[in-house]
Amino acid sequence: MSDLLSNATLTLRALEPTDLDTLYRWENDTSVWVVSDTIAPYSREALWHYLENNIGDIYSQRQLRLVIMLTDDRTPVGTIDYLNFDPLNNRAELGLFIAPEYRGRGLGRTALELLTAYSREHIGLRQLYVFIATDNTVCIKLFKDYGYRRVGTIKSWVKRGNAYHDVALFQMLL
């Protein structure tokens, strides 16, 4: 495994068919739907098709999802995604998910470190950005502490139940 995608703690790797059950559990955990655009459960079949059709080419698919796993025992602990990849302007949106049982251990920051190096040194991105609900203080702290700057607020951007909530836009120039 390349040092660019791995360190002593974590490894970022491509999705594998063996990730089906893990993705099924994570994607259908309704407690995390409030920070995603998920509005209904995913079937195993839909996830299988996603895995089957995922070629891992950020240029053709304009996105790339990597599994975050512990380096020592290869346990998957989350995912980190490039979304809305824009090769003309060399930028991409990020998505980060750490499974609830692994939160609070600094794994999100370590995954950001690995992905940032990969973004800069291999893909040649100029900037990364993330949208975070303004009430998600843990996530805001993570990205601010890592060096992302808050560059704006989008009012009433996400709906939860019958209420609309603001999101903050954070950006890092590489």
CA distance linking residue 114 with residue 140, whole number of Å: 19
- Pick 3-173's CATH classification: 3.40.630.30, 3.40.50.720, 3.40.50.300, 3.20.20.10: 3.40.630.30
Query: Is residue 3 pLDDT above 90, yes or no?
Result: no
In the chain, the amino acid numbered 1 is: M
pLDDT at 1 over 50: no
What lies within 8 Å, CB to CB, of 48 at 6+ separation is 17, 20
pLDDT, mean of residues 36-53: 90
Segment 12-36 mean pLDDT: 91
pLDDT number for residue 124 = 96
- CA 100 to chain CA centroid, nearest Å: 14
Q: What is the DSSP letter of 113?
A: H
Q: How many Å apart are CA 63 and CA 83, to the nearest integer? A: 5
